[in-house]
C-alpha cells in the first residue's frame, strides 16, 4: 500500500468527497431470515421484506442493506454461498427480489446487497469440481496444499485449524472461517475475472451497491510459515498472516476498477484490522471503497473479534476515546460508516447501557450519540425498538457457529460451564438474529409457523405495533431523529459538516458539528446522575434532544440523567 491515495482534510475539516449521493443516506440493515416470514415456514423471506416496506418508509430510512440471500446450505446463515447468481429457495425467487427493488424504489428506498467473495460454500460447483478433479482449473480457484500433515499452525476465526483434510488424499484446503467455507484463491486471475463478472451482473440488476464481507482477508502470507502460538490449543490466530497483508491493494484496486467504478454505486467494506495509517488507501475519493466499518469501539469489551470469550472491562471515557479516534481519522480521509449494532454484535442497549438497557431515555440517548456523528448512520433491525439481548439456558439453544466455538474454547481455557454459558449469552451473534417482534401475538407476528431461532422474552412489550402507536416510544424517537437529520434546518451541518471532540466529564460524550456558517454542540450523558458541562461563549439555543430542553446557566449546560441535547451556539 503505497499511500498514493493520500488526502488532506477539507475546509473546516469537512473532508473530501463532499456531495457524494450516498453521504445523506440512512441505511437500515435487514437480516432476512429473521425479519418477516410471509409463507409460514418459520424463516423470513424476501416477500416478507416487501410486505414491510411501508413500515420502513414510515421510519424514514433511505436504503436497505440485505444480508445474503444467495443460494447456500446455510452453515453460516448465508455467508457460505453455493451459487452467486441464484437465491436460496427459502428466501424466494429472483422475481421476488426484482419486485422488492421496484417497490422499494417507488418509496425512495434503495437496495444494497451483501457481497461474500473471500470464500464460498464447499457446496459451490467450483469447489465440487476442485475436489473431483485436482487437475481442473477449479482446483486453483481455492487454496490447497499437499502433505500428510497440516501445512501450518494457523487457527480459523471459528476455531480449530484453518486446514481441512481432503477425504482420500494427502491434501488440505484452507478456510479462514468455517470448514464448509473454503477460501477463494485471489492469486488466480481467472477466478478474479469470474467474480468481477458476477459483481457487474448484480449491479446491472439495479441494486445501489454492496457491503463487502471479510474483504481484508483475501491476501495471505504465501510463505505459510507457522506463527507463535497464542492459545491453549497450540494454534495462532490466522489474522496475523491473512488480514490486510502487503499486496492486498493490488486486488482491491483491480476490483474497484473492474466493477464499482463502472457503476454509480456505493461500497461499504467490512475490513477489520485496517490500521488507521492505511485508511487513506481504503476510503474516500480515490480509495478502494466509499466507506469502511471500523470495529475498534464495537469490540471494546473483548480481547479481539475472534476471542470474545476473553472479556475486558471498559468505561464511557474509553468508549469516547475510541469513537473520537475513529471519527477524526475518517474525517481526514473520507466518511465514516457509523453503527452500534449489526448481525455480528449483541444488542447495543444491553452492551453499552448494561443495567440501564430498559431505560427508554438511555436507549434514546445512545441512539442519538452515534446517529449524529460525522458519517452515514446504519440502523440494524430492531434497534429502533430498543431490543435487548436474550439469555439462553444451554449451549444447545444456540445456532451461531461462532458462539458454539467460543463456548468450547472457554471450557478449554479453564472456565466452568456456567461461566462459559454466561459469556456466550453476553456476546453471541444470535442476540441480534432473533426474529423481529412485529406485535405482541404468538411469536411476535414474525411467523405463523415455528421460528427458526428462539425469540427474546420481551416481545410482548417490545414490539413494532405497540411502539408505532406511542409517539414517545423509541421507534417514535428514531423516526423523529431521522427526519431531523435528513430534512431539518440543520441537515447540511449534521450530515456533511465537520466534527471535533468537545472536552467533557468522564461519563459524557460531547462533540461539535460545524460548517463555516454554524456550530452545533452535541452532549450525551451516560450517567444516572445529572451533570454540568461548559458551553463556549455566545448565545446557546437548544434545538433538539430526547427530553425537555436542558437548563443553561452561567455558561454551562445542565444535563439530566441519560439526556441527549443538541445546542446551537451563535
Q: From residue 461, give the alpha-carbon distance in Å to each of 347, 449, 456.
A: 17, 21, 11
**Average of per-residue pLDDT values in the chain:** 94
| pLDDT value, residue 452 | 96
pLDDT band at 354 (very low <50, low <70, confident <90, very high): very high
Q: What angle do CA 75, 306, 292 make, to 5 degrees?
A: 90
Q: For 287-295, what is the mean pLDDT?
A: 97
| pLDDT value, residue 306 | 61
Over pLDDT 90: what percentage of the chain?
86
Strand order in the sheet with 519-525: 498-501, 508-514, 519-525, 564-569, 540-545
Count of Cβ atoms closer than 10 Å to residue 151 Cβ? 18
Nearest to 177 by CA among 296, 76, 293: 76
Task: Specify whether the CB–CB gap between 25 and 378 falls below 8 A.
Answer: no
Cell of 235: 494454534
456-515: per-residue pLDDT in tens?
889 999 999 999 999 999 999 999 999 999 999 999 999 999 999 999 999 999 999 999
Q: CB-based contacts of 235: which residues, under 8 Å, 6+ apart?
A: 153, 154, 155, 160, 161, 229
Q: Does the pLDDT at position 1 exceed 50?
A: no
Q: What is the dihedral of CA 128, 90, 444, 113, to 10 degrees?
A: 70
Nearest to 429 by CA among 48, 38, 157: 157
Task: Specify whether the CB–CB gap between 385 and 474 falls below 8 A.
Answer: yes
396-427: per-residue pLDDT in tens?
988 888 888 888 888 888 889 998 898 888 88
Q: CB-based contacts of 386: which residues, under 8 Å, 6+ apart?
A: 349, 360, 363, 462, 474
Radius of gyration, alpha carbons of the chain: 24
Q: From residue 24, give the alpha-carbon distance in Å to each of 194, 213, 485.
A: 33, 23, 9
| pLDDT value, residue 260 | 98
- Residue 379, strand partner residues: 28
Active-site annotation holds for 213: yes
Q: CB-based contacts of 76: which residues, under 8 Å, 6+ apart?
A: 177, 178, 180, 181, 401
Catalytic residue among 114, 171, 213, 299: 213
Residue that wins the pLDDT comparison between 527 and 312: 527
Q: For 357-368, what is the mean pLDDT?
A: 98
Q: For 169-192, what is the mean pLDDT?
A: 98
Q: Does the pLDDT at position 8 exceed 50?
A: no
Cell of 534: 461548559
| pLDDT value, residue 42 | 98
Q: Does the pLDDT at position 304 exceed 80?
A: no
Give strand ranges (E) for 185-306.
209-213, 236-237, 266-270, 291-293
Distance between CA atoms of 421 and 403, rounded to whole angstroms? 10
φ and ψ of 391, to 5 deg: -140, 110
- The answer to which of 12-16, 373-377, 409-413 has the lowest mean pLDDT is 12-16
Q: Is 505 exposed, middle or buried (0-12, 13-18, 19+ CB in 10 A)?
A: middle
Q: Does the pLDDT at position 297 exceed 50?
A: yes
Active-site annotation holds for 270: yes
Nearest to 174 by CA among 135, 218, 216: 218
Domains defined along the chain, listed by start: 11-118+189-220+246-394+432-483 (3.20.20.80), 496-569 (2.60.40.1180)
- The answer to which of 4-8, 286-290, 349-353, 421-425 has the lowest mean pLDDT is 4-8
15-72: per-residue pLDDT in tens?
444 579 999 999 999 999 999 999 999 999 999 999 999 999 999 999 999 999 999 9
Q: CB-based contacts of 247: which residues, under 8 Å, 6+ apart?
A: 219
pLDDT band at 10 (very low <50, low <70, confident <90, very high): very low
Catalytic residue among 76, 122, 270, 389: 270
Amino acid at each position: 500500500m503505497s499511500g498514493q491515495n493520500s488526502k488532506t482534510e477539507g475546509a473546516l475539516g469537512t473532508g473530501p468527497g463532499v456531495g457524494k449521493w450516498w453521504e445523506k443516506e440512512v441505511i437500515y440493515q435487514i437480516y432476512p431470515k429473521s425479519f418477516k416470514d410471509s409463507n409460514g415456514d418459520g424463516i423470513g423471506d424476501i416477500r416478507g421484506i416487501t410486505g414491510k416496506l411501508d413500515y420502513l418508509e414510515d421510519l424514514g430510512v433511505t436504503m436497505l442493506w440485505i444480508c445474503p440471500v444467495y443460494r447456500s446450505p446455510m452453515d453460516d446463515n448465508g455467508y457460505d454461498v453455493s451459487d452467486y447468481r441464484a437465491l436460496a429457495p427459502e428466501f424466494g425467487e429472483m422475481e421476488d427480489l426484482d419486485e422488492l427493488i421496484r417497490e422499494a424504489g417507488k418509496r425512495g428506498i434503495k437496495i444494497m446487497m451483501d457481497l461474500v467473495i473471500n470464500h464460498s460454500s464447499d457446496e459451490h460447483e467450483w469447489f465440487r469440481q476442485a475436489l473431483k478433479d485436482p487437475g481442473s482449473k477449479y482446483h486453483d480457484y481455492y487454496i490447497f496444499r499437499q502433505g500428510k500433515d497440516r501445512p501450518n499452525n494457523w487457527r480459523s476465526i471459528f476455531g480449530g485449524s484453518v486446514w481441512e483434510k481432503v477425504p482420500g488424499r494427502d491434501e488440505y484446503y484452507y478456510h479462514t472461517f468455517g470448514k464448509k467455507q473454503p477460501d477463494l484463491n485471489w492469486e488466480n486471475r481467472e477466478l478474479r475475472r469470474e467474480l468481477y463478472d458476477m459483481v457487474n451482473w448484480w449491479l446491472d440488476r439495479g441494486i445501489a451497491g454492496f457491503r463487502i464481507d471479510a474483504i481484508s482477508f483475501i491476501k495471505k502470507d504465501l510463505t505459510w510459515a507457522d506463527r507463535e502460538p497464542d492459545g491453549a490449543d497450540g494454534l495462532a490466530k490466522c489474522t496475523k498472516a491473512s488480514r490486510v497483508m502487503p499486496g492486498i491493494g493490488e486486488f482491491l484496486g483491480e476490483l474497484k476498477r473492474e466493477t464499482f467504478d463502472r457503476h454509480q454505486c456505493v461500497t461499504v467494506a467490512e475490513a477489520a484490522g485496517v490500521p488507521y495509517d492505511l485508511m487513506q488507501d481504503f476510503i474516500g475519493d480515490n480509495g478502494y471503497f466509499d466507506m469502511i466499518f471500523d470495529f475498534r469501539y464495537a469490540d471494546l469489551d473483548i480481547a479481539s473479534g475472534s476471542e470474545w470469550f476473553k472479556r475486558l472491562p471498559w468505561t464511557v471515557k474509553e468508549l469516547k476515546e475510541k469513537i473520537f479516534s475513529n471519527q477524526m481519522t475518517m474525517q481526514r480521509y473520507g466518511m465514516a460508516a457509523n453503527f452500534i449494532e449489526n448481525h455480528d454484535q449483541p444488542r447495543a442497549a444491553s452492551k453499552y447501557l448494561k443495567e440501564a438497557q430498559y431505560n427508554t431515555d438511555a436507549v434514546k440517548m445512545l441512539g442519538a450519540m452515534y446517529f449524529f456523528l460525522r458519517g452515514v448512520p446504519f440502523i440494524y433491525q430492531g434497534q429502533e425498538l430498543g431490543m435487548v439481548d436474550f439469555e439462553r439456558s444451554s449451549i444447545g439453544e444456540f445456532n451461531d457457529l461462532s458462539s458454539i466455538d467460543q463456548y468450547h474454547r472457554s471450557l478449554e481455557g479453564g472456565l466452568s460451564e456456567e461461566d462459559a454459558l454466561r459469556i456466550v449469552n453476553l456476546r453471541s451473534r444470535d442476540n441480534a438474529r432473533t426474529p423481529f417482534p412485529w406485535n405482541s401475538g404468538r411469536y411476535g407476528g414474525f411467523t405463523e409457523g415455528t421460528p427458526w431461532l428462539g425469540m427474546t422474552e420481551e416481545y410482548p412489550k417490545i414490539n413494532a405495533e405497540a411502539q408505532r402507536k406511542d409517539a414517545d416510544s423509541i421507534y417514535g424517537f428514531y423516526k423523529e431523529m431521522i427526519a431531523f437529520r435528513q430534512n431539518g434546518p440543520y441537515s447540511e451541518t449534521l450530515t456533511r459538516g465537520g466534527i471535533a471532540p468537545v472536552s467533557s466529564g468522564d461519563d459524557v460524550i460531547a462533540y461539535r458539528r460545524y460548517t463555516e456558517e454554524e456550530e452545533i454542540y452535541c452532549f450525551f450523558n451516560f450517567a444516572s446522575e445529572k451533570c454540568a458541562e461548559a458551553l463556549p461563549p455566545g448565545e446557546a439555543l437548544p434545538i433538539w434532544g430526547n427530553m425537555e430542553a436542558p437548563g443553561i446557566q452561567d455558561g454551562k449546560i445542565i444535563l439530566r440523567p441519560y439526556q441527549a441535547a443538541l445546542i446551537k451556539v451563535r
